[in-house]
Homo-oligomer: A and B are copies of this chain.
């Protein structure tokens, strides 16, 4: 049976937010992934390195088993796009799983889908979840009923492997992990705001390192929640 997966792109999305989970989920048997945007056509990621094409518009996809929403600075504009938020609510209503990566959680939150629920997002905007009545959590991913939110950017890979195991069992997820040789060996231990150390966090906070993820505000360091 086909597994219908729909991924929402928008200008200013972060490419790895979307591509990590797409890579993982595309290896599930019978996965049918439809990438949509508000209207079909060229979509630029935040780094503008390479344009993607969304083959479908939101009007073309009216239901899915899995809804996946990536983040990126462009999510700010989507938080107030009534047409897209209505579509998100409509897809979510019948979906088996509704997932976000990074600031994609703020889109789910703006659609009202995280109200009263535990959720996570990129560390730099974690506190913003409260603005929408969600309960921010510092975790790699948070499962709240059928809604799964992942932390920043690369967390989508971990979340998607977990989702793959829910959909097709552990062995399928493990085989996908092996096929993408996901045996991480980061050369540093600075992937979390709690492990990175003040020098590294400071480099981001004071702007001496380019950081194009936070959108409208300077990042703030969350306390562990």
Residues of A within 8 A of B (CB): 7, 9, 14-16, 19-20, 22-23, 26-29, 33, 35, 42, 47, 49-55, 102, 122-123, 140, 151-155, 157-158, 161-162, 165, 170-188, 190-193, 195-197, 199-201, 203-204, 209-213
Contacts and interface: CB of A to CB of B under 8 A. Distances in A.
Given A27-B211, A52-B52, A186 B177 contact: yes
Contacts of A175: 190, 196, 200, 203-204, 209, 211
Given A49-B35, A157-B154, A190 B213 contact: no
A9 B50 CA distance: 10
Nearest to A173: B188
A52 B49 contact: no
Contact of A182 (B42, B154, B204): B154
Contacts of A209: 27, 29, 171-172, 175-176, 179
27 contacts: A7-B50, A9-B50, A15-B22, A27-B211, A27-B212, A33-B49, A33-B50, A50-B52, A51-B55, A151-B183, A152-B180, A153-B182, A157-B186, A158-B187, A161-B186, A171-B199, A172-B209, A174-B199, A174-B203, A175-B196, A175-B209, A178-B191, A178-B192, A181-B192, A183-B191, A183-B195, A184-B191
